[in-house]
Amino acid sequence: MNFDFVYLGQTVLKYQTPVEIFAGLQDIYEKRKKELPKANKQLVGKIQDEVSLHYSGQDSEKMHQHSFLPQDIQKWFYSIFKHYLDWNKIYKYNMKINSVWVNEMKANEYNPVHIHQGMLYTGLSSVMIMKLPSDMGEEYSAEEKPMNGRLQIIGASAGQFAKTDYSPDMKLGDFYVFPYDMRHCVYPFNSTKEKRRTLVCNVDVDYDPVTSRSAKGQIE
């Protein structure tokens, strides 16, 4: 499996989404957008268009359970999360996809610094790059370090030579995986009518940090 990693005190792994999975998710969103449940009230993003593709949580006041994801796509998500946990030497666990949604940002919308959680406080989140504007607009300062429309993941590492944050050069199909409690945000862009589309998948991971490195994990 091809992937890249960045260490910020915790690990961020970047995968490339297979063409058939990427196309399948785009197709679900574009063909069924009008029937997908609105997710704005459950999310912190200052974004108008946020819709849910999957929710398996038990909080019916938050949202009723539903899934628009076929089994092959769910299986792919699980394979990626399993690889992340294996790579981090976490073997004894149970995991379950809690929620999947799509953010479609317009100019001047943004996602403030936040963390994720599902039915558990322990788990993995992820961001898939599905659509990017051809131009993120004017950078009003520090043009040599563009941040318009960027994802920024903020680590827990400290020290003189530690890498403390990660703002990747995003490409379509990039899939970034990181723990629930890693802070992250998305900066606004400007001067375009094009949209920025991402998909987020949260998976709850139930594990014991002491014994979890001794046996293989399971999927609920």
Residue in 176, 133, 115 with CA at minimum distance from that of residue 151? 176
Q: CA-based diameter of the chain, in Å? A: 52
| 215 vs 193 pLDDT, higher one | 193
CATH code of 26's domain: 2.60.120.620
Residue in 16, 6, 53, 52 with CA at minimum distance from that of residue 172? 16
Residue type, 211: T
Give pLDDT tens digits for 78-98. Answer: 999 999 999 999 989 999 999
Q: How confident is the model at residue 7, as a pLDDT?
A: 86
Residue 202 pLDDT more than 70?
yes
- Determine the 3-state secondary structure of 213 from DSSP: coil
Q: Which of 33-37, 48-52, 139-143, 165-169 has the lowest mean pLDDT?
A: 139-143
Give pLDDT tens digits for 61-76. Answer: 778 999 999 999 999 9
Q: Apex CA 15: angle with CA 57 and CA 51, to 5°?
A: 35
- Into how many domains does the chain fold? 1
**What is the value of pTM for the model shown?**
0.92
Q: How confident is the model at residue 220, as a pLDDT?
A: 60
Residue range of the domain that includes 166: 3-219
Pairing of strands 93-105, 218-219: parallel
Task: Establish how many alpha carbons lie within 13 A of residue 113's alpha carbon, considering only the half-sphere containing its beta carbon.
Answer: 6
Give pLDDT tens digits for 127-164. Answer: 999 999 999 988 888 776 778 999 999 998 877 888 89
Q: How confident is the model at residue 157, as a pLDDT?
A: 81
Question: Do 184 and 154 contact (CB within 8 A), yes or no?
Answer: yes
Q: Is 111 exposed, middle or buried (0-12, 13-18, 19+ CB in 10 A)?
A: buried
